[in-house]
Amino acid sequence: MAAIFKKELRTYFTTLTGYVFLGFFVLITGYFFIAQNISQYSANYNDVLVSTMIMFLILVPVLTMRSFAEESRQKTDQLLLTSPVGINSIVLGKFLAAVTLYLIAIIITAVFPFILNRYGDIDVSATVCCFMGYFLMGSCLISVGIFISVLTDNQIVAAAVTFGALFLLVMIDNVAAAVPISRSSSAVFASAVVLIVAFTLYSSTKSIPLSLIFAVIGLAAAIGAYLLKLPIYDGLITNVLSKLSVLSHFENFYLGVFGISDIVYYITFSGVFLFLTVSVIEKRRWS
């Protein structure tokens, strides 16, 4: 893993990708720092971090689009797949390299709250907590970008799809507020989730009996809960989407609240997409 990590991190700085990412990150953060802290005489740097989240839609695709797409295009992915390095190590090495570059950008811009603290009085603990949430949320989005990069051999396609996926993640709270809340809609949603999981189970195990058993039991439970009028279907879609929102889990960090559940959510979120990335590569390796 260390070899992959060093190679990827070196690549970021031997091409324009790393410098473009760092340059725009610092530029955009500096703009909001001046506009919201200096011009408004505000000592709340957390507002700057919230405002700069919009740049993730552009910078994360730029950072992750070549992770695996470029390897596939140049056919160098075959060297990786046949190397003694495990798939888990390859994926984790690429992920950690991208996250390290992101962390470097955060460390550079950390000079801004130091300036505020030098000439004012900021809430240091709340700012540090917000930085932690900011880092964890960005890492989640990077894991999504890496997963999408492994699905194609075209960097432009990877960047465009990543942009769309991140946009949906950012807008998920708005989607949650607009979805139907009827029990019948919730039942259809639960049934669809069961079928998706059953299909995923089949894709991973190639076991038709196991997938069918899961689908039958899951659908029976979903229909039974609907017929018995269990309260689980009251606003189910809205509740699920709200729990999945990357922004809603950032709110506690913004307020300076160190929530274990939010940390577990971000780590789990990243872990799921890294697992999916490994699964795609494994399937491609043995096909």
Structural domain contains residue 245 = no
Structural domain contains residue 239 = no
The verdict on 226 and 103 lying in the same domain is no
> How confident is the model at residue 24, as a pLDDT?
93
Between 5-9, 50-54, 139-143, 174-178, the lowest mean confidence (pLDDT) is in 174-178
Q: pLDDT-derived band of residue 233, with 50, 70 and 90 as boundaries?
A: confident
The verdict on 154 and 66 lying in the same domain is yes
State which residues form the domain around 153.
Answer: 2-172+256-286
Mean pLDDT across 75-80 = 59
Helix 87-109 / helix 124-149 crossing angle, nearest 10 deg: 140
Which of 34-43, 83-92, 103-112, 168-177 holds the top average pLDDT?
Answer: 103-112
The verdict on 203 and 99 lying in the same domain is no
Q: Where do the DSSP E strands lie in 8-111?
A: none
Q: Residue 77 pLDDT > 60, yes or no? A: no
Q: pLDDT-derived band of residue 207, with 50, 70 and 90 as boundaries?
A: confident
Mean pLDDT across 5-24 = 87
The verdict on 30 and 119 lying in the same domain is yes
Six token digits for residue 244: 């999945």
Please give the residue that has the higher pLDDT: either 78 or 107: 107
Structural domain contains residue 177 = no
The verdict on 7 and 80 lying in the same domain is yes
Q: Residue 181 pLDDT > 80, yes or no? A: no
Please give the residue that has the higher pLDDT: either 187 or 98: 98
Structural domain contains residue 224 = yes
The verdict on 230 and 89 lying in the same domain is no
Structural domain contains residue 193 = yes
Six token digits for residue 213: 């058993």
The verdict on 128 and 53 lying in the same domain is yes
The verdict on 229 and 276 lying in the same domain is no
Q: Residue 64 pLDDT > 80, yes or no? A: yes
Structural domain contains residue 246 = no
CB atoms closer than 10 angstroms to residue 256: 16
Helix, strand, coil in percent for the chain, rounding step 5: 80, 0, 20
Q: pLDDT-derived band of residue 71, with 50, 70 and 90 as boundaries?
A: low
Please give the residue that has the higher pLDDT: either 138 or 122: 138
Six token digits for residue 267: 């780590």
| Number of structural domains found in the chain | 2
- State the chain's mean pLDDT as an integer: 84
Between 10-19, 72-81, 121-130, 230-239, the lowest mean confidence (pLDDT) is in 72-81
Q: Return d(Cα 157, Cα 273) in angstroms, integer.
A: 18
Conformational region of residue 256, where left means phi above 0, alpha means psi within -120 to 50, and beta covers everything else: left
The verdict on 135 and 218 lying in the same domain is no
Between 44-48, 125-129, 150-154, the lowest mean confidence (pLDDT) is in 150-154
Q: pLDDT-derived band of residue 193, with 50, 70 and 90 as boundaries?
A: confident
Structural domain contains residue 261 = yes
The verdict on 200 and 268 lying in the same domain is no
Structural domain contains residue 242 = no
The verdict on 106 and 138 lying in the same domain is yes
Q: pLDDT-derived band of residue 27, with 50, 70 and 90 as boundaries?
A: very high
> How confident is the model at residue 204, as a pLDDT?
63
The verdict on 168 and 269 lying in the same domain is yes
